[in-house]
Structures are given as C-alpha cells and as structure tokens.
Structure 1
Amino acid sequence: MKFETEEELLEYTSNIKGKTFKEIDSRHLLDTASLTQAKGLLGHVVETGFYGYPINSDSKADFEELDIELKVTGYVKNKNGSLRAKERLVLSKINFNEIINETFESSHVLGKCKKMLIIWYEYDSKKEAEDFVITDYQIYDMSDDFEIFNNDFEIIKGKVLEGRAHELSEGDTSYLGACTKARTSADRTTQPFSDILSKPRAYSLKNAYMTGILRENLEPKLTTFNNFKTVEEYVKYKLKPYFGKTQLEILEEITGKDYSDDVPKHIGKMITDRVIGKDNELAEKDELFSKTSFIIKNLPIKEDGTPRERMSFKTISLSDFEEEWEDSYWKNYFEETTLITICYEEKNKSKNGYRVLKDVKKITFDENDLGKFEKSYNQIKLAIEKRDIGLLPTSANGFKNQVLEIAPKGVKGDDAYTNFFKRDKTKVTFMISKKLLENKLKH
C-alpha cells in the first residue's frame, strides 16, 4: 500500500484506533509468542497486518515515498491517571567507526528516523500482547528539537573520539540516548581509538522524552522555550550570580529576610526552589524539562572536594522489584537519569548555612555502575521473596564493593527495617555511597 501524501497516510491510520493487535494480526505472528517475544513483534504486526507491507530490515524508511519511519510503542497509566511511556524508543545501531566522520545532519539516525509515524498502544501487564489496545498515533519530526538532538549527538561522538565508547551512559545526554543493544550481556564490539571493547549501542529516544511527546500529543499545553540544550546548562545559568557566596548570603539576597538566628535545615532546597524552580514547576518553564530525566541535588563537600555525606533518592516500593533487573523501573531510572549536583563547600568545617556555592557537577552512571547496582537490586528482590530483612544491602550488612545501599528515610526511631514488609511503599531509600560520589565528582 502506497501513500502519496502525509494527509492520506494519517487518514488511513485513523482506522487503527481502538483495535487490538489480535484484530490486525492477519499473519498470526503473535499466536505462539511469549509476552516478551510478542512486544518485539508488535511493529511487524502493524506493518504487515494493517499496512500490508512485508517484513524487512531495509535501511530506508518504511513509508519510503514520504520519508516516514513506522514505530509502534506502548505507554502505561500511572496510579494518578497520568500517562508515561513504557520504554525508550530504539532507533538504529551506532557504528562507532562511522560516527566519527558524521555530523548529526548526515548521520544514519537522522537519515532514516527524522520523521516517524508513532503508533501508541496501552500496555497492561495483566493482558497478553495480542489484547493490547491501540489508542492513538502521531507524526513526530526530530527536527523540531534539532539543536538539542545535535548537541546530544556531539556528546556521543565526542566520547567515541576520545576512545571512551565503553563509558557511554544514557545520562550523558538530554533526548537522544545511546542505549545498549546486544543479543547477550557478553556481546562486545571494537571502537576506533581504544583497544577496550565496548558494549554495542543504539540511538534511542529516551523514556522521559517519549513520555514528554506522548503527553504533548494527548494533553497539549503551552510551554516557554529558552534554548537551553541541557538541564546542567540551565542550572549553571541560574546559579551564576551566586557562586562564591554562602548559603545564608544567597537565601537572604533572594528573600530579603535574615535567617542567621535560625538556619533552615533544608536551606539548599529553599535556594534551588526559588532560583531554579520547584521540581513540579520546571516542565512549565521550558519543554526541555518535560522530556528529560533529571534530579537536582544539593551536596555538601569538604575542602578537598570529597562528599561529606551519601546521596539519597526517593523511597522504594516492594512492587518495584517484581521484574528482573533488565526490565525493572530502577535500571531505567539509574540508566537514564542525570544528577545535577550543586556542591556547597565547607570552609574550615563550616556548618549548614555557611557553606559556599562552589560548583555544579553532572553525574551519570555507566555500565560498570549499573552492574554494581544490579547486585543491590537483586539482594532486595531476594529479601522480599524470602521476607528476610537480614538480606537487605545496608551499609552495615553489604557486600564487597557495594556502592548502592539502602537506609531509612523518615522519622528517627521509625524502625523502617522491621516494618519493611508491612506495606508496598516502604520508609527505606536507596543511597549512593560516598566512595562512588567521590569518584564521580573527580571527573
């Protein structure tokens, strides 16, 4: 089936809304597939059963005459009714030997995937894939966010040029990820400027970015755009007038109040909320924030640059550990999230309020980090399965080279571990060790 115009393609595609994959699977591709296998076949089902195209691995776009690529991907409904993308959207494999001679405009990823027809279906873990319902579709053009994609591409290319393809992390970039793409965990490939083998990787639209364009499509809203290419760039821009000043000096300057007699415990958070913006407000300030996965953290550091304390994250839920690590919420979280760390230096062991704004550091996690995180994840998963708190990876009960541990988060004396199994939402949080933070801050 050929389409002469984009409008003709969209008019035909409108007939797919409300259908299940079973209804269009004319070649019965899903009949004997497991749920995991089936998810990989859903694109082929739409391609063959709805559009009548043969399955192919052609380097050209699916709708060649319109230069539009077909992508089928899922979303889930959160408990509060909001929508989020089920996973990243994998585009095309990164050739480390070719990327060094490419620009983003001349790259394979833009050549094939510049414009895509995205078919959205609602994912439901309680259903078989054939019963997933296709609910929406949209034409998506990567050139709409060209400057940020170009910047992301240059970051990926830069690491390859430095012989550091093996250190690529999805947290390095804003929208365009370099996700691992291998048949097995042992697969490796060569890179041009290093003898170190790297995991094969592919370009992808990151999970947070997919969530952003999903919500824009279904829940359009106005956003301002300030031409920032990364969250780090935005944070540094906002904090630029305050470097070298103490926390109290900054807070008093932006509020006009004197806090010296009663220094707020969370003074760092008060500053970031006012200068940078509250977490739930940032998406309204710039569309960059609605399409990236980031966390802004305040961290006290010593004069030698080492962290004074560990870094905590949000509390964990028991249901977070129902899946294997590779498909888990936490793997995706640590893999894609960029930590924007605002460092306050303590001069002469100065206390909270009197530490000086020193630096803003970006922290991301590579394959080596994720391998260590996986061990902690599996320890928690095992503890839940056996209902044995003695297996939890705490700082006092960990394993060799542990860098991700758990600790109580909340009221002291809450007995968080004893009550660990009593409800899904625990009072325990993940903590990054000072040792790992020190290593990250040096880079």
Structure 2
Amino acid sequence: MKFKTEEELLNFTKNIIGKKFIDIDTQKLLATNKKDKGILGKVVETGFYGYELNSNPEADFGELGIELKVSGFKTNKNSTISAKERLVLSMIDYSEIIDEEFEFSKLIFKNKKILIIWYEYDYENKDNYGEFVIKHYQLYNMGVDEEVLKNDFNIIKSKVLKGEAHLLSEGDTSYLGACTKGAKGTDTKTQPKSNILAKPRAFSLKNGYITGILRSIDISSQVLAKYKTAQEYIYEKLKPYIGMTQKEIWEQVSGIVFKEGDAIPKNLNKMISDRIIGKDKELGKIDDVFNKVIYEIKNLPVDKDNYPLERLSFKNLHLEAFEYEWNDSEWKDYFEEISFIVITYEGSKKSKNGERVLKDVKNISFTQEDIDLFGKSYNMVREAIKSKDISKLPYPKSYENQILEIAPKGVKGDDAYNNFFKGNKTCFMMDKDFVSSKIN
C-alpha cells in the first residue's frame, strides 16, 4: 500500500488502535516466532500495511521518508507510563562513521521521521506477544531535538576516531545511544583506528528519551531543551559557587545563617541542590533534557585527590527485580543507560558537614567491562534468592575486581543482611576505588 501524504498515512494508521497483534497477523508469523519480539514489527508491516518483508536500507514508507517502528510501553505502579526498552535504529559501521557528518549520515537518511506504533506490554502474557494490544501511534521527527542528537552522534564518532570503539558506553550520551548488538555476548568486530576488537553496536534512542517521547503524546506544549546534557545544566548552575563551603552556599541561596552550635542538617547537600538546580520533580519543567535522559544526581564528599569519603549507593533492592537472567534484566538496562551526575565536595574524614567545599561536577558512565562485572554481582544476588542462602550475596570483597557490592541501607540495628528476605533494607553500592577511577 502506498501513501501520498503524511496525513493519508496517519489517517490509515488510526485503524490499528485497539487491535491485538494476532488480529492483524495475516501471514501467521507469530505461529513460528512466538517469542521473537522483533516479529511484531513484521506483523504490522505485512498484516496491517500490506508490505512485503524486506531489509531495504531506505525508510519503510520511502515515498514519505518515514521509518516504521513498533515498541512496547508499561504502566508503572504510580500510574505513569514508560517505554519498555530502547528503540534500536540502525547498526553503527565503525569504518563509515568516521567520515560521516550527522546531517548527511545513514542514521538520519533512514530515521529522520519515525512512525512509532505503541503496544502495552502485558506481563501476564509475556510469552504470548499476539495478545498484546496496540494503544497509541506517534509520528516522531528527530529534527525536534537535532542539537542534542547531533552532539551525541559526534561523541560516538569521536570515540571511534580515537580508536576507542571498544570503550563506547550508552551512558556517554544523552538521547542517542550506542547499544550492543549481536547474537552472542562474545561477538566482536574490527574498528578502523585500533587493533582492539569492539562489540557490534547500533544507534538507539535511549529508554529515557523514548519514555519522554511517549509521554508527550497528550502534551500540547513542551519545554524545549536548552542544554545538550543534564551535566551541562547542573554545572552551569553550580559554577558560581565552586570554592565555597556548604554553609556559605546555603547562607547565600537561602538567607539563613548558621550560628555557633546550630545543628547542620545531614541532607544539606540535597537542600543546596534543590535550591540551585531545582527539585527532582521540577527539572523536567525547567529543561526538556531531563524528561528524556536516565540520570541520577549524587552528592559525594571527596578528599583533595578526588577519593570518595563515602560509597555511592543506589535504590533499595527488591527481590522481584532479580527474576530475569542478567541480559534481560531491568538492572542491566539501568546500568547501560544511566548517567550519574556527581557533585563533589572536598573535605577530609575529620571535616564536619557544612565545612566541605564545592569542588566540581563529574559524569560517570560505564564501559562494557563494567557492565559485565555488574552482572556478576547481580547473578550472585539472584543465586542467593533462588537458594535462600544469604551467604551467596555479593558482600564487599567477595571476588577479585569487584565493583558492585551489597550493603545495608537503613538505620543502625536493622540487621539488613539477615533480614534480606523480609524487606528492602539493602542496596547496591559501588567500590570507592572504582568511583575514584571514574571521577579522576
């Protein structure tokens, strides 16, 4: 079926809302590919739009320059919706990208405009994709966020030019990721500027970005992204205060002066961040970059050599989050895409809260080697849960080169380890030597 205009295509696409994939599977593709998520795009392409299966490098609706993508979303406990996973676009050719400019790249040639068909991921029918229901459709133009995407493209290109394709990480960029691709985790390919083999990777729109696009379906007006990265915004806001103590900063931004003997709030760093940067829930209204990236802002005390005085901790562990194998887990997706924006305050073990000096803003993202090591700790937690044996948990120094460990998160006396199966009193923390290597 050929469409002469975007309007004609979208008017036809309205008819897909409410259908299950099994309803439009005219070629019975689901019968032989019940667990292949990639098959859903083929079902829509053949069964709804009447196209033949192809791997044509041109856009699916070539006459309109529009690419078709089918993607899932999930409903969260707080009733918000989020994309189920990143949206994979096209493979990165390491030999070609070094000579490409973003505006004329194969990436933009094929994906400038994307028609996204959204289905609701049904956990009760997770092994029967045919029962998933299509709920929304959306025409997305990459030109809306061109400056951010171009910056991301050039970050990826720069690493390949430096012979560092093997060090690419999804956390390096804001919206456009370089996700690993390959039938096996051991797959590798050559790169032009180094003899080191690199994992095959594809351009992808990151999960956080796709979630932002999904949530914009019913939003008539959006805040534009003025910054290319979340770190850039945060640094610009904090820059005038670098070199000042926590108390000096708080007195300047709040007008409240700490007197001799006053108790200094334990969360003073967070109070400062909220005043200068904005509260977490407000950031998306300040700059759109915060709606479309997966990030966490961390305040970290360090010594003069940038060595952490505390470990970096994460959200509490929930047993149900370890149901899946590492490669299919939410934790793996989290570490692949997350950017930790670390606000460092210099002091010493003897320095009191309030006396530490604002030093810098650092960004931490993870290499494939880091991700593999995270997986080892994840699998130890998973094995402990399966065997109901807490001795198998990844305690600090459980194995060589360990960077992710389990630790109590709560008040003293919680006996978090022994109560691991009774509540959410433990969390992942990062080894301080590892964090030091990242921020240095």
| Same fold (TM > 0.5) | yes
Secondary structure of the residue that 1:7 maps to in structure 2? Answer: helix
Residues 43 and 72, structure 1, Cα contact 8 Å, conserved in 2 = yes
Question: For residue 408 of structure 2, what is the aligned residue in structure 1?
Answer: 408
- Superposition pairs of residues 99-178 of structure 1, within 5 angstroms: 99-127=97-125, 128-178=128-178
The more displaced of 339-348 and 135-144 is: 339-348
What is the distance in 2 between the residues matched to 1:311 and 1:251? 23
TM-score, normalised by the number of residues in structure 2:
0.97
What is the distance in 2 between the residues matched to 1:196 and 1:5? 47
Deviation at 1:391, TM superposition (A): 0.8
Question: For residue 13 of structure 2, what is the aligned residue in structure 1?
Answer: 13
The more displaced of 184-193 and 374-383 is: 184-193
Question: For residue 237 of structure 1, what is the aligned residue in structure 2?
Answer: 236
Which of 63, 72, 75 is matched with 2:73 structurally? 75
Secondary structure of the residue that 1:368 maps to in structure 2? Answer: helix
Deviation at 1:309, TM superposition (A): 1.5
Deviation at 1:258, TM superposition (A): 1.6
Task: Encode CA deviations 1:281-329: one digit per residue, 9 max, x unaligned.
Answer: 1111111101100111111111122111210011111010001111111
* Cα root mean square deviation, aligned: 1.2
Secondary structure of the residue that 1:126 maps to in structure 2? Answer: helix
Question: For residue 337 of structure 1, what is the aligned residue in structure 2?
Answer: 338
Look up the equivalent residue of 1:9 and give its one-letter code. Answer: L
What is the distance in 2 between the residues matched to 1:80 and 1:355? 37
Deviation at 1:347, TM superposition (A): 6.0
Residues 315 and 430, structure 1, Cα contact 8 Å, conserved in 2 = yes
Deviation at 1:32, TM superposition (A): 2.7
What is the distance in 2 between the residues matched to 1:77 and 1:227? 29
Question: For residue 205 of structure 1, what is the aligned residue in structure 2?
Answer: 205
Secondary structure of the residue that 2:103 maps to in structure 1? Answer: coil
Task: Encode CA deviations 1:327-354: one digit per residue, 9 max, x unaligned.
Answer: 1111011110001111111169422211
Residues 223 and 285, structure 1, Cα contact 8 Å, conserved in 2 = no
Question: For residue 283 of structure 1, what is the aligned residue in structure 2?
Answer: 284
What is the distance in 1 between the residues matched to 2:303 and 2:332? 30
**Identity across aligned pairs (percent)?**
56
Deviation at 1:422, TM superposition (A): 2.2
Look up the equivalent residue of 1:73 and give its one-letter code. Answer: S
Task: Encode CA deviations 1:116-162: one digit per residue, 9 max, x unaligned.
Answer: 11000001121110000001101100001000000000111111111
The more displaced of 137-146 and 409-418 is: 409-418
TM-score, normalised by the number of residues in structure 1:
0.96
Residues 408 and 417, structure 1, Cα contact 8 Å, conserved in 2 = yes
Residues 145 and 225, structure 2, Cα contact 8 Å, conserved in 1 = no
Question: For residue 54 of structure 2, what is the aligned residue in structure 1?
Answer: 56
Deviation at 1:91, TM superposition (A): 0.1
Q: 1:367 and 2:368 equivalent?
A: yes
What is the distance in 2 between the residues matched to 1:348 and 1:388? 35
Question: For residue 255 of structure 2, what is the aligned residue in structure 1?
Answer: 256
What is the distance in 2 between the residues matched to 1:121 and 1:71? 11
What is the distance in 2 between the residues matched to 1:238 and 1:225? 18
Secondary structure of the residue that 1:109 maps to in structure 2? Answer: helix
Residues 302 and 348, structure 2, Cα contact 8 Å, conserved in 1 = no
What is the distance in 2 between the residues matched to 1:43 and 1:57? 12
Secondary structure of the residue that 1:64 maps to in structure 2? Answer: coil
Q: 1:179 and 2:153 equivalent?
A: no
Question: For residue 246 of structure 1, what is the aligned residue in structure 2?
Answer: 245
Secondary structure of the residue that 2:63 maps to in structure 1? Answer: helix
Question: For residue 226 of structure 2, what is the aligned residue in structure 1?
Answer: 227
Stretches of structure 2 that go unaligned for 5 or more consecutive residues are none
Secondary structure of the residue that 2:29 maps to in structure 1? Answer: coil
